[in-house]
Amino acid sequence: MDKALEGLRIVDLTMGWAGPLATRNLADMGAQVIKVESCERFDWWRSWEATEAWIADNGAEKSPQYLSVNRNKLDITLDLEHPRGRELLLRLVATADALVENYSGGVLPKLRLDYPHLLEANPQLVMVSMPAFGSTGPWSEFRAYGSTVEHSSGLPHLVGSPDQPPTMQHVAFGDAVGGLNGTAAILTALWHKQQTGQGQFVDLSQVECLLPLAAQGVLHQSVHGTAPERHGNAHPEHAPYGVYPCQGDDAWVVIQVRTDNQWKSIQRLIPQLADFGDLASRLQRRQELDAVVARWTEQRSSQEAMHRLQAENITAAKLNSGEDLLHEPQLKDRQYLQWLERDYVGLQPNASAPFRTGPAPIPIESPAPTLGQHNQVVLGDMLKLGDAEIAELAEQGIIGTKPRLPKTN
């Protein structure tokens, strides 16, 4: 299968979720993505905290989160604080089309690896920086995660019920949104480079990526001078509309009635709804209405409720747990999960790329790499270092294949 980015080389200095998700999409599209970590400053999605026992148990290779966003990549280790490690990174950058990073704003300038220094190695380089709050300004050096980014965007003030405090949509929603925007930014810059031959620096503020999702709140505040009312899972203009309990432990179904025809259909399905009148009446008596619907759904599994409702052309969907997704018929039919064998963890499911070039999913060529797995391939075959030189780098701790705790004074 032809892949759109075949032949492009991307140096990946990202960690966590947002940056690695952005580069994973590039790898899925055929780019050669070379992830750069170090034995002491490895991707923190391998683990929040390292201990000697965790290192001995190969814990760095067992994180499901790390595995999910680093497939199809190569991995090398370089100590960028060591002059030799920095030199080798610059040699690698000289061969690359783009570099992506998501450190806080002050990290790469301290290492003399910011864009002006990288341009000396590669004048046509595309560089995308993905710090939480951009590379300039008073917040540029603040560290943040997806949760911090979501709060900073103001989005939680638009989510949840009126009697709740600001409510997050996910423990790290900002990461997922930032990662997708990062992919778009990289592709746009690479397209510009293809057309003009010019590289460029793209400063992507992850918090700004979330602002379009809060546009309705910004507009409401601008027009009315007050924040919009929060409605939780309900809808200000439709009822019944929400998430309803079903048989079983933590089982739920989403129901959305938007049209008069759907309202008539659900009344036939749930005769007790005959007591409710037009839309204005339903909205006014929303709690009573939801209670009637919930009594009906509680007597059925989420699967049965979904199918009964869908058969009447009513928008409905069961909520799946993580385990449920492994057996979801729609995903199976689309071959959504691809199973790959991975060292230390065995056979693992991998979600296919959300985009396709044909009926079948884009094949996943390799699982997430182990730490320093491709030191020989990248440093030896690509950068032409000899075996003795690579062995010396390992002896000095500049490269390696196992995490290492930082030395303490």
pLDDT tens-digit series, residues 124-151 = 999 999 999 988 888 888 888 899 999 9
Distance (Å, whole) CA 195 – CA 192: 5
Pairing between β-strand 252-256 and β-strand 241-245 as defined by DSSP bridges: antiparallel
Structure tokens at 328: 């979801």
Contact 99, 118 (CB under 8 A): yes
Distance (Å, whole) CA 323 – CA 246: 17
Is the Cα dihedral 115, 120, 123, 126 positive or negative? negative
Closest CA to 47 of 15, 22, 18, 79: 15
Residue type, position 45, single letter: W
**H runs (alpha helix) in 197-224:** 206-210, 215-224
DSSP string of 241-287, one letter each residue: EEEEE-SSTT-EEEEE--SHHHHHHHHHHSGGGGG--SHHHHHHTHH
pLDDT of residue 1: 56
Distance (Å, whole) CA 399 – CA 391: 9
pLDDT of residue 409: 59
Using DSSP, state whether 140 is helix, strand or coil: coil
The H or E element that residue 193 is part of is helix 173-196
Burial grade of 316 (CB within 10 A; 0-12, 13-18, 19 or more): buried
Distance (Å, whole) CA 270 – CA 268: 6
φ/ψ (deg, to 5) at 98: -155, 160
Contact 232, 293 (CB under 8 A): no
pLDDT of residue 205: 94
Q: What is the pTM of this model?
A: 0.92
Sites in the chain below the pLDDT cut of 50: none
For residues 35-51, b (16+ Cβ closer than 10 Å) or e, as one string? Answer: bbbbbbbbbebbbeebe
pLDDT of residue 277: 86
Distance (Å, whole) CA 185 – CA 193: 12
pLDDT of residue 65: 94
Contact 41, 397 (CB under 8 A): no
